[in-house]
Amino acid sequence: MDYFKEYGVSSNQLDRLIVKEPNTKRTNPLLSTGKIFSREISLRITACRETFEEVGILFFRNHKTLKKLSSTPTFGEDFEDVNFDRVGWQFAVHKDAKQFLNLCRSLHVVPDLWSLYEWSLWRSPFTAEKSNDEI
């Protein structure tokens, strides 16, 4: 979470990601170096990391798009750097999830937590022996 602060992400911007449901029991917040942050934020970071690790797509915001943060998602930001070793970074992140933060630092970006939305509909392929269909 320190990196988000260093990058200029405000508490208000992060608070927009937290679901505020009255009378809902949730698991305890995750801990990181003694600091507490919400499950919504940690799961979104994980989703961004996994997407990059598995398919090489990096959801990010740079300083310019972070300032334009609104309720409408921003899509289509390109990162063009001929020296960017996508496959090398994917391998590094696969071996050590902490490398995702180093990737973001080296590119001067933050994971785009604001353009992700919760959904819960998984359909197992009809050829699967065991069904894991959930709603």
Q: Print pLDDT tens along the chain (135 aa).
A: 677 787 777 778 777 777 665 555 545 444 444 455 677 888 889 999 999 999 999 988 887 777 776 655 556 556 666 678 999 999 999 999 999 999 999 998 889 888 887 666 666 666 766 655 554
Range of the domain at 103: 2-115
129 belongs to a structural domain: no
Contacts of 131 (CB under 8 A, 6+ apart): 124
The total number of structural domains that make up the chain:
1
> What DSSP letter does each residue of 27-72 carry, written as one string?
PPPEEETTEEE-HHHHHHHHHHHHHHHHH----EE-HHHHHT--SS
17 belongs to a structural domain: yes
120 belongs to a structural domain: no
130 belongs to a structural domain: no
User: Which tokens sit at 103?
Assistant: 């990737």
Decide: pTM greater than 0.75: no
